[in-house]
Structure 1
Amino acid sequence: MISVRLSALAVALCLAQETAADTTIVVQSTTSTANSGLYDHLLPLFEAESGMSVNVVAVGTGQAIKNASNCDGDVLLVHAKAAEEAFVAAGYGLARADLMYNDFVLVGPREDPARVKGLEDVQKALTQIADAGALFVSRGDDSGTHKKEMQLWTDAGLDPVAASGTWYRETGSGMGATLNVGVGMAAYVMTDRATWLSFGNKGDFEVLVEGDPDLFNQYGVIVVNPGHCPNVAFEPAQSFVDWLLSKDGQDAIGAYDRNGAQLFFPNAAGG
């Protein structure tokens, strides 16, 4: 009798563990969505409605894509559209969807040695920084922000990496850490606006360059392909993505702000 009861208990425990595993998903995410506090706002809403739990791994976009490609996650939420489309094309993810957007800004010290304040042409601003040899701190970490920054330098006809270690410095770190270095060195930094608005160590730094359409920052979301990664919790992952793209999820994204400033703007089709 005792052995029968123990066997029944073991089966119940296994079923409970399987159920818990089925309702927990891992999101490989860019750091800006985490550092801005967006998940602290969104996840309790989704978890209360669905009964599921969501664990977020916040790293640079390049690392998040690599992790998801290696089957370490159920959902990918990043901001480098070309890389996201390549991820899907390679069979690592299912369909990609636009989720939300904000923009990048160029911040720097009030002194503004390269005289870029007020410019709405980011390529002109970068050219003036390079010509002045003014300090610029880059993430240098293959994140979505770094990919965008490098594209902007290329569009300006410049190769700042050739000046690495002189006026151009690379941290290999996340956005918050890079901003801290930039403030400490009185150097220009390109950052997503959400992280900037949430950043607490601004010192005398301010937004100097904004408003160029080239600074547009689109975020996308993808369910990792269970055909490539059999361990993917497909149904819970799809439920989370469906919620993010739904009116409820989109409204929740649009409602998130810091000190009255909206950080992300939902733009899912039909959301």
Structure 2
Amino acid sequence: MTRIDPHASHFVWSLPPKGGFSSWGGPAMKNFKPFRAGALVSKALAAIVLVASGSAFAQSITMASTTSTEQSGLFGYLLPEFKKASSLDIKVVALGTGQALDMARRGDADVLFVHDQVAEEKFVADGWGVKRYPVMYNDFILIGPKNDPAGTKGKDIVQALQKLAATHGNFISRGDKSGTHAAELRYWKLAGAEAAKGSGYKECGCGMGPALNIAASSGAYVLADRGTWLNFKNRADLAVLVEGDTKLFNQYGVMVVNPAKHPHVKSQDAQKFVDWVVSPAGQQAIAGYKIGGEQLFFPNAAQ
């Protein structure tokens, strides 16, 4: 993937007309007075500096993050608060965590905001990230039809998946190497159904919002993060069936991409975001994001 530099500026220089510069203005050029090249260059450089200080060169960094942080509406609330504090813009590319990590390995992102702790720690251990910072958490929930044909309702995600496998219940998997997908696969493994999830198991290879839409339209079960669910409007006949299991804990982390691997990475500006989001101001902003009075994410950088 080729990274498009948001700061790139394109200067268009006009070529002289046919016949050379003397044809510009016709006879009027007879009165043309020679100019000092040095003065012109100085003015041109001054103009470029003025442009560089303007909005065309507004400082920004690229963040590779999860679909859950975007589709829950968190970034729409959080990033304007960061800009007030820093004057930095953040361009978010929302992907599954696995794809976000791959994007960072290619050097196409400056900072990561994801939720697969095992993969994040390996990313840092392999030298791709500078340091991993825990930043916040919420939880996963099992969503399904209100009439719950597989009988999954309760607080045990492992038992719920065992029942889905045994009844061949319709289940929509993200199938996109996201943090949610990684968690789902761990739960299937714990349920002893890693290789036998039932004939109703389908992968969509999509983000959290689209997966919920498919489940809503087909009456299927799906594992979701609570943040996206609370911001999801097209619920149809879906309801929360399994919640409260400690295994459903969902931790998020932030990391600056290692400039030793990719020297073009804007590591200093990326670190400004990390420092802010784990600071009391950033943590308070996370806690302040609510839908219908319900808090979606819980800051825990200090823990």
Class of the TM-score when normalised by the shorter of the 2 chains: over 0.9
Q: Which residue of 2 aligns with 1:211?
A: 244
Q: CA RMSD in A?
A: 1.9
Q: Which residue of 1 aligns with 2:97?
A: 61
- Report the number of matched residues: 267
- Structure number having the greater helix percentage: 1
Consecutive unaligned residues in structure 1, runs of 5 or more: none
SS state at 1:211 partner: coil
TM-score (norm 2): 0.84
Letter of the 2:191 counterpart: A
Following the alignment from structure 1 to structure 2, what is the Cα–Cα distance between the partners of residues 72 and 128?
42
Letter of the 1:222 counterpart: M
Matched, 1:146 2:181: yes
| Corresponding residue to 2:144 among 89, 108, 130 | 108
Matched, 1:222 2:255: yes
After superposition, give the CA deviation of every residue in 1:151-206 in whole Å (9 maximum; x if it has no partner): 0100111125664xx31000001110011111111010000000000011001111
SS state at 1:248 partner: helix
Q: Which residue of 2 aligns with 1:239?
A: 272
Q: Is the 8 A contact 2:145 2:238 kept in 1?
A: yes
**CA 1:2/1:235 → structure 2, altered by over 3 Å: closer, same or farther?**
farther
Structure with more relative contact order (C-alpha pairs < 8 Å, separation 6 or more): 1
Q: Is the 8 A contact 2:114 2:252 kept in 1?
A: yes
Following the alignment from structure 2 to structure 1, what is the Cα–Cα distance between the partners of residues 43 and 271?
32
Letter of the 2:42 counterpart: A
Matched, 1:201 2:223: no
SS state at 1:157 partner: coil
Following the alignment from structure 1 to structure 2, what is the Cα–Cα distance between the partners of residues 2 and 29?
52
Following the alignment from structure 2 to structure 1, what is the Cα–Cα distance between the partners of residues 57 and 196?
45
Q: How much does 1:4 deviate?
A: 3.6
Following the alignment from structure 1 to structure 2, what is the Cα–Cα distance between the partners of residues 18 and 229?
26
Following the alignment from structure 2 to structure 1, what is the Cα–Cα distance between the partners of residues 103 and 39?
42
SS state at 1:77 partner: strand
Map residues 167-206 of structure 1 onto 2, 5 A cutoff: 167-206=200-239
Following the alignment from structure 2 to structure 1, what is the Cα–Cα distance between the partners of residues 43 and 69?
41
Q: Is the 8 A contact 2:66 2:115 kept in 1?
A: yes
SS state at 2:262 partner: coil
